Amino acid sequence: MAKFPQTDIYGITCEKLSKGRDNLEVVKQLLAAGVKIIQYREKEKTKKEKLRQCLAISKMCREAGALFIVNDDVDIAMLTEAGGIHVGQDDLPADAVRKLVGSKMLIGVSAGTPQEAAEAVARGADYLGIGPVFGTGTKEDAGKPVGLEFLKFMVQNYSLPLVAIGGINAENIHLVSGTGITCFAMVSALVAAEDIAAAVHKLRRQLKLRQTTI
């Protein structure tokens, strides 16, 4: 099975927010900046276009030693030999996904309540995406913010990898880090930046600043 890397930034694609750059260019810049997890998330593209982009991105991630994860589309994750698949509460449950993908692929599940988290883990999730932490306009059906206290609860009660998501940026990442979460998924804070490498470095500076002031 692919291994969930010990890393801080989890980049998620969104071409419509990427200032005219396509997903391949954005991923190239994220990887060059040292991002070790890339999730391909595109709700509006055709399967054919998703497959074309994911084949290229999967290869780029392998060459860079990064984990490539596909959102929702189990078939595309399998066809592109992705390292993982991420599903939401309205998608196939983790145990059903496991029957399709076998043992080699990581399965991530979105969870916004204690019940959703417990069920995802019981069904075999390898990691959890927790959120939205703050309000976000990136995902239309994101739901109400779960808040920082819920992140603390998750850190105290679960030992599998936890990824915070939803409205995280350079101005508030220190607050999220303060809950004990160590991996932060972001869309617009990364892909909408004029200079993606500079955005990654700024986020990491903020995390380092918090660590040195503890």
Catalytic residues: 41, 110, 139
Phi, psi of 138 (to 5 degrees): -70, -40
Which amino acid makes up residue 191? V
For residue 179, give Cα distances in angstroms to 129, 135, 147, 176, 183.
Answer: 15, 18, 10, 6, 11
Q: Sort residue 128 into left (φ over 0), alpha (ψ -120 to 50) or beta.
A: beta
What would the two tokens of residue 7 be?
A: 């890393």
Q: What is the DSSP letter of 207?
A: H
Give the span between the Cα atoms of 81 and 97, in whole angstroms.
15
Give the span between the Cα atoms of 92 and 1, in whole angstroms.
20
Torsion of CA 141, 145, 149, 154, to 10 degrees: 10
Q: Sort residue 167 into left (φ over 0), alpha (ψ -120 to 50) or beta.
A: left
